[in-house]
Amino acid sequence: MPDSTPRQHAFATRQLHGGTPVPDAHAARRTPVHLTAGFVFDDFDDARDRFAGGPGYSYTRIGNPTTTSVERRIAELEGGLDAVLVSSGQAAIAIALLGLLRSGDEVVASAHIYEGTRCFLEQNLAELGIAVRFVHEPECTGAWSEAITPRTRALFAESIPNPRGRLVDLAAIAAIGHEHGAPLVVDSTFASPYLLRPLEHGADVVVHSASKLLAGHGGVLGGVIVGGAGFDWDDAERFPQLAGADATLGGRSWAELHGPGAYLARLRAHVAPRWGSTPSPLHASLIEQGVETLSLRVERASANALAVATWLAGRAEVESVDYSGLPEHPSHELARHYLPDGQGPVLAFTLLGGEDAARAVIERVRVFTHMTHIGDVRSLVLHPATTTHIHRSAAERAAAGIGDGLLRLSVGIEDVHDLIADLEDAFAAIPASARTLEEAR
């Protein structure tokens, strides 16, 4: 008898065909852009049914078919139950955490994360009475256990930390969180689901800045929250918003009605629309278009990044290169386990000549674009010490490994020979006084 089990398609096929299609009256091949604020009700009863939570759309802040289409595609690529698209990556992080945390709760987070996230945790959540405990050595799993208290309700880390790529052991940290009833939220922006699917390693929630690799072309902002199936939300002491009776559910709980999907169901209905971070359907469509070429772009960008990192490591002007694909990087072993198909487009390197050398390189590159962004098809360069990390003290920058000579690259999909030639030309512009450590000091 022929095997009737449907064949599980590979990633490159699922990025095009994955996710249940949203029905369309005209059978358009691509999900159309439903650029509309609202949806006409069929009749009196239909309006009541849709407001009561029945099928169909009512208002774009609550849901939109174009948005649904990309949500389903991304949920499938991450191996999640469901996904919620929001207006930016920063919104995804805020909404994901606001769905978990209440006043008096605590979150334990890696200290080596995106600056916008760090400030959100430290300032904005503190204003709501939610405290953050930072783990300063996130590579050391014991440090996570030490930071957890009876009030901890979530753990937060990045799958590939910005910008030095010191990886954390996601499975070990997820297990520590679960021992204490706390889910692990992972910002996987730098990896994309093509390189790493944190849910497969025990994480419970994945967030992305879709503005980066998912959209891929540096054209739009967006964010997405994906929920896994592994966490038991029916814990009324820790998560009363999910496990307690909810008047809008007729006195039942989200956990009772939605089981492992409780967190994301409530996020979609009561958290994201109320905080109002609605994505434009036009942006949702552009993100979906980006997702359709994700594997091709990320594979090429990762290969280019490894080649650039290898070239940089052999240059006399360079003190060190941070890329987990290099055998000498402290996270290389973890990268072999978590990122076997490539280590992503982002790398950092430190020039011996400090800020003078960094300035010379940035001002001379022609193929690399000087811009703050990552995951673009184009190669980008940035000097973190005077941009993303400008508000940190010199001591804090030193602790984060952000020296005056450090440059962050987000490598694109250009021909790698042109990228290396561009850097070589730019290195020639480094003034003699800033060519070596001895002369620079």
Q: Which residues bind ligand PLP (CB under 6 A)?
A: 88-90, 114, 116-117, 158, 162, 187, 189-190, 209, 211-212, 221, 223, 374
Identity of the residue, 170 or 243, whose beta carbon is nearer to ligand PLP in the bound complex:
170
- Smallest separation (angstroms) from ligand PLP to the CB of 209: 3
Identity of the residue, 287 or 360, whose beta carbon is nearer to ligand PLP in the bound complex:
287
- Smallest separation (angstroms) from ligand PLP to the CB of 219: 12
Identity of the residue, 120 or 254, whose beta carbon is nearer to ligand PLP in the bound complex:
120
- Smallest separation (angstroms) from ligand PLP to the CB of 51: 31
- Smallest separation (angstroms) from ligand PLP to the CB of 119: 11
- Smallest separation (angstroms) from ligand PLP to the CB of 214: 10
- Smallest separation (angstroms) from ligand PLP to the CB of 16: 24
- Smallest separation (angstroms) from ligand PLP to the CB of 8: 29
Provide the b/e sequence for 281-312 (b: ≥16 CB within 10 Å). Answer: bebbbbbbbbbebbbebbbbbbbbbbbbbebb
Beta carbons within 10 angstroms of residue 58's beta carbon = 17
Identity of the residue, 261 or 344, whose beta carbon is nearer to ligand PLP in the bound complex:
344
Identity of the residue, 216 or 261, whose beta carbon is nearer to ligand PLP in the bound complex:
216
Identity of the residue, 243 or 287, whose beta carbon is nearer to ligand PLP in the bound complex:
287
Write the CB contacts of 6 (distance below 8 Å, at least 6 apart in sequence).
none
- Smallest separation (angstroms) from ligand PLP to the CB of 295: 20
Identity of the residue, 213 or 335, whose beta carbon is nearer to ligand PLP in the bound complex:
213
Residue number of the CB closest to ligand PLP reads: 89
Closest CA to 224 of 207, 244, 238, 236: 207
- Smallest separation (angstroms) from ligand PLP to the CB of 99: 17
Identity of the residue, 106 or 158, whose beta carbon is nearer to ligand PLP in the bound complex:
158
Identity of the residue, 69 or 88, whose beta carbon is nearer to ligand PLP in the bound complex:
88
The 3 state secondary structure assigned to the chain is CCCCCCCCCCHHHHHHHCCCCCCCCCCCCCCCCCCCCECCCCCHHHHHHHHCCCCCCCECCCCCHHHHHHHHHHHHHHCCCEEEEECCHHHHHHHHHHCCCCCCCEEEEECCCCHHHHHHHHHHHHHCCCEEEEECCCCCHHHHHHHCCCCEEEEEEECCCCCCCCCCCHHHHHHHHHHCCCCEEEECCCCHHHHCCHHHHCCCEEEEECCCCCCCCCCCCCEEEEECCCCCCCCCCCCHHHHCCEHHHCCECHHHHHHHHHHHHHHHHHHHHHHCCCCCHHHHHHHHHHHCCHHHHHHHHHHHHHHHHHHHHCCCCEEEEECCCCCCCCCHHHHHHHCCCCCCCEEEEEECCHHHHHHHHHHHCCCCEECCCCCCCCCEEECHHHCCCCCCCHHHHHHCCCCCCEEEEECCCCCHHHHHHHHHHHHHCCCHHHCCHHHHC
- Smallest separation (angstroms) from ligand PLP to the CB of 266: 22
Identity of the residue, 390 or 428, whose beta carbon is nearer to ligand PLP in the bound complex:
390
